[in-house]
């Protein structure tokens, strides 16, 4: 039997993949909707049905290698179902009026955009949002994004990106929640709820799109668009859960990924898009490709020409073709030649029309083109305040030697670095309708907060990079990076440093150094900036590093020599105000990492929940015959879940309600957490589980729960977590989702490394 026949059989057995009474999304059939769409489709020609599955790109942004042509003529001819990259009520109304008043049947258009971490009010990049460990705030950021996007004519966002990755060289790690599938599932659910609200037809909601389906974060060598080759067990356990969680949260659409999966590109993968997504998970929305992905089946080598590419993608389960327009050009002919079943077009068309119906577009096609909402809602004071709050909670304090932070509001500081005065970089990549002019730079935030209390000496200090090829690539993709004389920049920085009490070095990546097509083989701070840091260190002044970046970085020198390191990611519109507040103690950092920071690139891929092995590393590098490197510890620089505070927390002894957990029972784990420092602070108390003996190798730890709490100085609180047998289930070699009796450990602590443990037995 061939592998392609074995895959569905195995996956049918999986509790993750199979539909059961407890987890089936179920039928959401609406008789009124069904009747309306059936009547409409009865009037449609084949060409008009194919037109509904055509997504064109025109307007304010370019997010791929090509833009569509003759869009207005195609809309009038019924050859367009959705428009990508056009927003504002005026622009949307213009195109919608063409569809309503000029096309034969007046079918409204969908309007889509990459609203990834905010629309006009920009929040931290998703990896930063995830570091808040606050699902209410994450959902709130998506809710505000939906309010603003819908006010500017949009009704469909290409978000959330729920791809799990363990390789920080991959640029798009910044768009996801990190390395853990359980935590990523919670983020996915929160984002879908935020975008879609309780009523998709409400004027202030947008349809979510789960991306990128599937396994995009597993790209080989961390190179974007590259091959993904992994076992069924690995994909089922470690990568698929967030997609399924977003489906069960009700996401209206799914986007295919650019990669192949074990030899079959996602856009042509019937097992993935039909057997798994629809038949097993019960997904009822529609599937859209990523940018020109249908056309790219040809260079993949699975389609011989554009006709073949159109056929393969439609037969796999694609419902909408983004930008390549191959389906609209060729599917009709393929049906005439009896190569393609017309029923596939009917199914795809129906799914697209159902989405439009659920969004209320047939009732009022202009409901998202309200100019008054477009004037009143974006960038409101409340939204900017929310952006500042969320930004402060996403920042991660990585080091704070001798409690140099928070800084005192006196004396003088040297604010140095190529990112210190940048408005464009703070809003990061995929910043949607966000504008640099609306953002607050670090320098602006510092001056606003400090006024005349602190003297600020500024200097750029270094170029983002002195690598001229990299600069050329970054500028070719929308950057505005200058190259100035490095010697002159350094001289100015040292002058500022020598007359200041403390050095604040704002360094890291420019916004274009992470994101799509922004993989890096070396993920340290660029050499130009590292040279600056080394020179600043020699002045003998306290050195505080403020990082901006969209991925984990290798920071061994920085961690050894800096007095403090604050990870701020790309923090959004209110970044400068938020960073200033954290540096000066107006806000206490409480973020925790959701992706491991390696010591060097040789450790990649590195993640906390790796499997047990026969010769595990025990921390002693002299014990030769273990799974280890000769030249560096296996341990990361900063582990998953890590993050410091201006205060300190202590943990009491773990208390278990029992040493046994029955098949239908529950187990309570209690711990007292105390604030032993001088500041009110928030702590993310994390609970992990380890299955000590199982029929397949299990991870050394798995995150199963957490609680984020705020404690005043001297305050203590007892926290209780509850585990059930369902929390201990896993996938066996037949991909059955089971639990097995035996010994377990539970770990509770401040991160995945610094924990205390207790044991219990699962008994039948």
Mutual orientation of helices 241-248 and 181-196 as an angle, nearest 10°?
Answer: 30
Percent of the chain residues topping a pLDDT of 90: 91
In the structure, what pLDDT confidence band is assigned to residue 623 with cuts at 50, 70 and 90? confident
* Active-site option among 290, 319, 425, 563: 290
Mean pLDDT (whole number) for 395-401: 98
Residues 564 and 701 in one domain: no
- Model pLDDT for residues 404-427, shown as the tens digit of each residue: 999 999 999 999 999 999 999 999
569: left (phi over 0), alpha (psi -120 to 50) or beta: left
| Strand-pair category, 730-731 with 755-762 | unpaired
494, 537 in Cβ contact below 8 A?
A: no
- Model pLDDT for residues 226-272, shown as the tens digit of each residue: 999 999 999 999 999 999 999 999 999 999 999 999 999 999 999 99
Is 670 among the domain residues? yes
In the structure, what pLDDT confidence band is assigned to residue 482 with cuts at 50, 70 and 90? confident
In the structure, what pLDDT confidence band is assigned to residue 62 with cuts at 50, 70 and 90? low
Residues 359 and 409 in one domain: no
CB-based burial, 269-290: b 16+ in 10 Å, e otherwise: bbbbbbbbbbbbbbbbbbbbbb
Percent of the chain residues topping a pLDDT of 70: 95
Is 441 among the domain residues? yes
Tell me whether residue 290 is one of the annotated catalytic residues: yes
We report the CATH number of the domain holding residue 443 as 3.40.50.1700
How far apart CA 171 and CA 219 sit, in angstroms, is 11
Q: Is the pLDDT of residue 530 over 70?
A: yes
| Domain closes at, from 603, 631, 663 | 603
Is 429 among the domain residues? yes
Is 388 among the domain residues? no
How far apart CA 493 and CA 558 sit, in angstroms, is 18
Beta bridge partners of 412: 455
We report the CATH number of the domain holding residue 734 as 2.60.40.10
Residues 544 and 452 in one domain: yes
Any alpha helices (H) in 206-302, and if so which ranges? Answer: 232-234, 241-248, 270, 297-300
How far apart CA 499 and CA 503 sit, in angstroms, is 10
pLDDT recorded at residue 676: 98
| CA distances to 278, 416, 447, 662 from 391, in Å | 37, 21, 18, 43
Q: Could you list the residue range(s) of the whole structural domain that residue 291 is in?
A: 30-374
| Strand-pair category, 755-762 with 742-749 | antiparallel
Instruction: Compare 18 and 136 and report the one with higher pLDDT.
Output: 136
pLDDT recorded at residue 267: 98
How far apart CA 243 and CA 648 sit, in angstroms, is 37
- Model pLDDT for residues 205-228, shown as the tens digit of each residue: 999 999 999 999 999 999 999 999
Q: Is the pLDDT of residue 739 over 80?
A: yes
pLDDT recorded at residue 7: 46
* Residue 443, Cβ density class (10 Å: 0-12 exposed, 13-18 middle, ≥19 buried): buried
Residues 289 and 412 in one domain: no
447, 440 in Cβ contact below 8 A?
A: no
Following CA atoms 178, 184, 188, 191 in sequence, which dihedral angle do they give, to the nearest 10 degrees?
-60
In the structure, what pLDDT confidence band is assigned to residue 24 with cuts at 50, 70 and 90? very low
pLDDT recorded at residue 154: 98
- Model pLDDT for residues 87-141, shown as the tens digit of each residue: 999 999 999 999 999 999 999 999 999 999 999 999 999 999 999 999 999 999 9
- Does an H or E element contain 718, and which? strand 716-723
Residues 162 and 309 in one domain: yes
Give 271's DSSP letter: I
pTM, entire model: 0.95
Residues 482 and 340 in one domain: no
Residues 368 and 512 in one domain: no
Instruction: Tell me the DSSP string of 164-231.
Output: --S-TTSGGGGGS--S-HHHHHHHHHHHHHHHH-S-TTSTT--B-EEEEETTGGG-GGG-TT--B---
Q: How many domains would you assign to the chain?
A: 3
pLDDT recorded at residue 29: 74
In the structure, what pLDDT confidence band is assigned to residue 479 with cuts at 50, 70 and 90? confident
pLDDT recorded at residue 420: 98
- What is the three-class DSSP state of 70? coil
Provide, for the chain, the percentages of residues in helix, strand and coil under a 3-state DSSP scheme, each rounded to the nearest 5.
Answer: 35, 20, 45
Ranges 25-34, 191-200, 635-644: which has the least confidence: 25-34
Residues 697 and 587 in one domain: no
Q: Is the pLDDT of residue 2 over 50?
A: no
pLDDT recorded at residue 335: 98
- Model pLDDT for residues 66-93, shown as the tens digit of each residue: 557 789 999 999 999 999 999 999 999 9
Residues 546 and 654 in one domain: no
Residues 369 and 260 in one domain: yes
Beta bridge partners of 436: none
pLDDT recorded at residue 273: 98
Is 679 among the domain residues? yes
Residues 599 and 653 in one domain: no
pLDDT recorded at residue 477: 78
Residues 493 and 535 in one domain: yes
pLDDT recorded at residue 66: 53
In the structure, what pLDDT confidence band is assigned to residue 28 with cuts at 50, 70 and 90? low
Tokens of 256: 């295919």
Is 138 among the domain residues? yes
- Model pLDDT for residues 137-180, shown as the tens digit of each residue: 999 999 999 999 999 999 999 999 999 999 999 999 999 999 99
Give 597's DSSP letter: B
Largest Cα separation within the chain, whole Å, is 80
- Model pLDDT for residues 421-439, shown as the tens digit of each residue: 999 999 999 998 999 999 9
In the structure, what pLDDT confidence band is assigned to residue 476 with cuts at 50, 70 and 90? confident
pLDDT recorded at residue 621: 78
| CA distances to 37, 51, 99, 366, 546 from 105, in Å | 12, 12, 8, 16, 56
- Does an H or E element contain 747, and which? strand 742-749
| Strand-pair category, 543-548 with 564-567 | parallel
Mean pLDDT (whole number) for 472-499: 92
We report the CATH number of the domain holding residue 309 as 3.20.20.300
Peptide bond into 257 cis (omega under 30): no
Is 409 among the domain residues? yes
Is 136 among the domain residues? yes
């Amino acid at each position: 039997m061939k592998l392609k026949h074995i895959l569905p059989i195995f996956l049918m057995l999986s509790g993750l993949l199979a539909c059961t009474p407890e987890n089936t999304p179920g039928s959401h059939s609406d008789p009124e909707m069904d009747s309306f769409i059936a009547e409409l489709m009865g009037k449609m020609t084949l060409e008009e049905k194919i037109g509904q599955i055509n997504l064109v790109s025109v307007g304010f942004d370019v997010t791929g290698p090509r833009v569509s042509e003759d869009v207005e003529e195609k809309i009038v001819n019924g050859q367009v179902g959705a428009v990508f990259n056009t927003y504002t009520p005026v622009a949307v109304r213009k195109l919608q009026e063409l569809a309503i008043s000029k096309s034969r049947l007046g079918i409204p258009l969908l309007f889509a955009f990459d609203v990834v971490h905010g629309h006009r009010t920009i929040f931290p990049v998703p990896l930063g949002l995830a570091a808040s460990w606050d699902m209410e705030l994450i959902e709130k950021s998506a809710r505000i994004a939906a309010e603003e996007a819908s006010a500017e004519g949009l009704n469909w966002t290409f978000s959330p990106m729920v791809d799990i990755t363990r390789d920080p060289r991959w640029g798009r790690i910044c768009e996801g929640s990190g390395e853990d599938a359980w935590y990523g599932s919670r983020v996915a659910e929160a984002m879908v709820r935020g975008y879609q609200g309780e009523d998709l037809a409400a004027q202030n909601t947008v349809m979510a799109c789960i991306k990128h389906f599937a396994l995009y974060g597993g790209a080989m060598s961390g190179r974007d668009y590259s091959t993904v080759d992994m076992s069924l067990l690995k994909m089922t356990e470690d990568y698929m859960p967030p997609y399924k969680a977003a489906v069960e949260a009700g996401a209206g659409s799914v986007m295919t990924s650019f990669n192949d999966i074990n030899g079959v590109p996602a856009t042509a993968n019937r097992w993935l898009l039909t057997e798994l997504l629809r038949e097993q998970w019960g997904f009822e929305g529609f599937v859209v490709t990523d940018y020109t992905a249908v056309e790219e089946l040809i260079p993949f080598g699975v389609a011989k020409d554009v006709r073949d590419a159109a056929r393969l993608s439609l037969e796999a389960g694609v419902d909408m073709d983004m930008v390549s327009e191959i389906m609209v050009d060729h599917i009709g002919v393929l049906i005439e030649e009896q190569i393609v079943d017309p029923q596939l077009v009917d199914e795809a068309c129906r799914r697209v029309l159902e989405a439009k119906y659920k969004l209320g577009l047939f009732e009022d096609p202009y409901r998202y083109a309200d100019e008054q909402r477009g004037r009143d809602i974006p960038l409101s004071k409340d939204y900017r305040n929310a952006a500042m709050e969320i930004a402060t909670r996403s920042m991660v304090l990585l080091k704070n030697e001798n409690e140099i932070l928070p800084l005192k509001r006196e004396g003088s500081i040297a604010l140095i670095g190529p990112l210190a005065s940048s408005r464009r970089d703070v809003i990061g990549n995929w910043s949607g309708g966000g504008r640099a002019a609306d953002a607050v730079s670090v320098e602006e935030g510092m001056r606003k907060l400090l006024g005349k209390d602190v003297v600020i000496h500024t200097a750029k200090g270094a170029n983002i990079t002195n690598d001229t090829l990299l600069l050329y690539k970054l500028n070719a993709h929308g950057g505005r990076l200058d190259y100035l004389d490095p010697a002159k920049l350094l001289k100015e920085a040292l002058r500022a440093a020598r007359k200041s009490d403390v050095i604040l070095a704002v360094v890291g990546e420019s916004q274009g150094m992470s994101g799509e097509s922004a993989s890096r083989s070396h993920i340290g701070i660029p050499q130009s900036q590292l040279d600056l840091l080394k020179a600043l260190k020699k002045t003998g002044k306290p050195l505080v590093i403020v990082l901006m970046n969209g991925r984990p970085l290798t920071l061994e020198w920085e961690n050894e020599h800096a007095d403090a390191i604050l990870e701020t990611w790309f923090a959004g519109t209110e970044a400068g105000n938020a960073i200033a507040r954290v540096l000066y103690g107006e806000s206490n950092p409480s973020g925790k990492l959701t992706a491991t920071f390696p010591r060097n690139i040789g450790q990649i891929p590195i993640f906390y929940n790796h499997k047990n092995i026969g010769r595990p590393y025990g921390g002693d590098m002299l014990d030769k015959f273990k799974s280890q490197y000769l030249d560096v510890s296996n341990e990361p620089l900063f582990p998953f879940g890590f993050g410091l505070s201006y205060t300190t927390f202590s943990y009491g002894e773990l208390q278990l309600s029992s040493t046994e957990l029955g098949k239908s029972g529950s187990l309570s784990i209690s711990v007292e957490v105390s604030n032993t420092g001088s500041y009110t602070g928030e702590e993310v108390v994390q609970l992990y589980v380890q299955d000590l003996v199982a029929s397949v190798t299990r991870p050394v730890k798995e995150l199963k729960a957490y609680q984020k709490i705020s404690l005043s100085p001297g305050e203590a609180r007892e926290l209780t977590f509850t585990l059930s047998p369902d929390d201990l289930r896993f996938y066996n070699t037949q991909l059955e989702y089971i639990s097995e009796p035996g010994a377990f450990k539970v770990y509770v602590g401040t991160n995945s490394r610094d924990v205390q443990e207790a044991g219990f037995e699962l008994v039948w």
